[in-house]
Amino acid sequence: MIWIHRVTILLVAVLLATTTFVRAAEVIEETFHSDATGTEQHYRLIVPKGATAEARVPSLYILHGAYGSYVDWTDKTNVEELADRYRMVLVFPDGGQFGWYVDSPIDKPSQYETMVAKELVAAVDAKYPTIAKVEARGIMGLSMGGHGAISLALKHRDVFGSASSLSGILRLENHPDKWHIVDRLGPFAENEDRWKSNSVYTLVESLKDNPMPILFDCGVDDTAAIQDNRDLHEKLVELKIPHIWRPLAGVHSWEYWQRNLQPHLNFHQAQVIAELPNEEKWFAFNYKREKIFFDENATLSIDPPTSPTMVVAGSSSVQGLKSSLLPEWRVFNRGIAADRVGLTSRGLSQRMEESFFDMNPDVVVMKIGRNDLSAAQTGDGTPTLEQMTEHYEGMVKQVRERLPNSKLIITSAFPVRNSYTRLREPILPWNEKLREIAERNGATYIDVHTPLLDAEGLVAPEYTAEGLHLSAKGYAKWAEAIRKAATNP
């Protein structure tokens, strides 16, 4: 259930000065007067827990599509629930049913570009605990709003620092008779230059010498938008402009937008993460790693690998694996310290797009789970072994479905010693579960546990740094097991 609150200017000022927003998943209903449109404009926000005037956070503007309104995202998706995982003020503007987020030269009240990019941003920054910097502000949207998000970001580089689109109508000139665009820009035949100058397809030319982080995806069966997205991708490749393009399963529907919402939130949180205050260090660490992932993935659009590729994903054990140990492949390291499976907290299962699918690798290596086992020993409510197994197998099935031609390797958990000896017992049944998952799903299981043991059943001292992570000799053993599994038919 969504609780709606009418918040006055005075009340918000008092809140900012004296209190913390104690609930993340709470939708706030707001209005402000727009001089551009000459009307009262409605919008919604979600403010994260702990955001105050003294502890400001980045912001993300999320635009609706044609036939819709500012309530769509909060009413039709689980964005309210997902907001708990992020440190951004989420803002949901109203762009009119067919406003197209442009300033219309023929319909004077339809000035949605100025309303959103200038007036609304200023109003939000004045009233809510946002970081009022371009580096701390992103924009995304679906369909008409996908076009609006990228076009507004390109037109207002001093306002938005990142942009993304789901199922965006990204080449207006492909649709001269649809969705009332003619009512905003006039007939295409008589106003071709006007249409093109407002179209994302043309506006991206400005990125040639001044790129910005851009992500766009579209369902491959989306008859309304797929050609626009393919056209844009081809143009960006031709212009050598880095970007992330994801053709995904699906059609032009809320089911598609719900399913693919979280990767966009991940993308924008990673882009603005450097602006978070120091007390967010651990949260920031994870997203700084993801920022590296996104940057690497974007370069692949204009610099495709010439050698076989391998993705190695998981926790800090993965993060320490040097690509020089596997010189036969171009290795994309997707390890993040303290990472988990991701059932009850942010983990590998929640960043699969950037960790696996963007690269379309020849080999996928998964190594994850020991942090969940460790948490179980301290009683922090971590999932059971059965839940972990189910969730892990769900990831494996996705890799199998999305990357049918990739070699999939599942790595056992490593043995431990010293202060980590308490993990010895739960590691053994976990490894057996991993072996079963591999067998059921046509993956290759590699046992890196047994070769690292000493006579006492602990990791041999020469293979570990402190009893948990591997030493150089330990990584060499693991790399050799990966090489053998990757090259065997």
Q: Does 264 share its domain with 347?
A: no
CA 118 to mean position of chain CA atoms:
26
Instruction: Please state whether 240 falls in left (phi above 0), alpha (psi between -120 and 50) or beta.
Output: left
Strand partners, 33: 40
Cβ atoms 100, 112 nearer than 8 A: yes
Q: Does 347 share its domain with 391?
A: yes
Look at the block and give the residue holding tokens 């006492």: 456
CATH number at residue 475: 3.40.50.1110
Q: How many domains is the chain partitioned into structurally?
A: 2
Compute how many other C-beta atoms are within 10 angstroms of the C-beta atom of residue 307.
10
Strand partners, 138: 60, 162
Q: Is residue 457 part of a domain?
A: yes
Q: Does 256 share its domain with 323?
A: no
Q: Is residue 444 part of a domain?
A: yes
Q: Does 237 share its domain with 337?
A: no
Q: Does 121 share its domain with 237?
A: yes
The torsion angles phi and psi of 340, rounded to 5 degrees, stand at -130, 180
- DSSP letters spanning 57-106: B-EEEEE--TT--TTHHHHHSSHHHHGGG--SEEEE---TTT-TTSB-SS
Compute how many other C-beta atoms are within 10 angstroms of the C-beta atom of residue 108.
11
Q: What are the structure tokens assigned to 205, written together? A: 């030319």
- 3-class secondary-structure state, position 398: helix
Q: How far apart are CA 118 and CA 123, in angstroms?
A: 9
Query: Which H helix or E strand runs over 334?
Result: strand 330-335
Q: Does 97 share its domain with 154?
A: yes
| pLDDT digit string (tens) for the chain, length 489 residues | 333 333 222 223 323 333 333 344 689 999 999 999 999 999 999 999 989 999 999 999 999 999 999 999 999 999 999 999 999 999 999 999 999 999 999 999 999 999 999 999 999 999 999 999 999 999 999 999 999 999 999 999 999 999 999 999 999 999 999 999 999 999 999 999 999 999 999 999 999 999 999 999 999 999 999 999 999 999 999 999 999 999 999 999 999 999 999 999 999 999 999 999 876 777 888 999 999 999 999 999 999 999 999 999 999 999 999 999 999 999 999 999 989 898 766 799 999 999 999 999 999 999 999 988 887 766 666 788 999 999 999 999 999 999 999 999 999 999 999 999 999 999 999 999 999 999 999 999 999 999 999 999 999 999 999 999 999 999 999 999 999 999 998
Look at the block and give the residue holding tokens 């949180």: 269
Q: Does 373 share its domain with 241?
A: no
Q: How far apart are CA 55 and CA 271, in angstroms?
A: 19
Query: Which H helix or E strand runs over 184?
Result: helix 181-185
Cβ atoms 161, 271 nearer than 8 A: yes
Q: State which amino acid sits at residue 261.
A: L
Q: State which amino acid sits at residue 392.
A: Y
Burial 443-466 (b: 16+ CB within 10 A, else e): bbbbebbebbeeeeebbbeebbee
CATH number at residue 59: 3.40.50.1820
Structural domain that includes position 201: 5-273
H helix intervals, 273-322: 281-300, 316-319
Q: How far apart are CA 359 and CA 304, in angstroms?
A: 9
Cβ atoms 228, 178 nearer than 8 A: no
Q: Does 316 share its domain with 250?
A: no
Cβ atoms 411, 448 nearer than 8 A: yes
Q: Does 29 share its domain with 146?
A: yes
DSSP 382: P
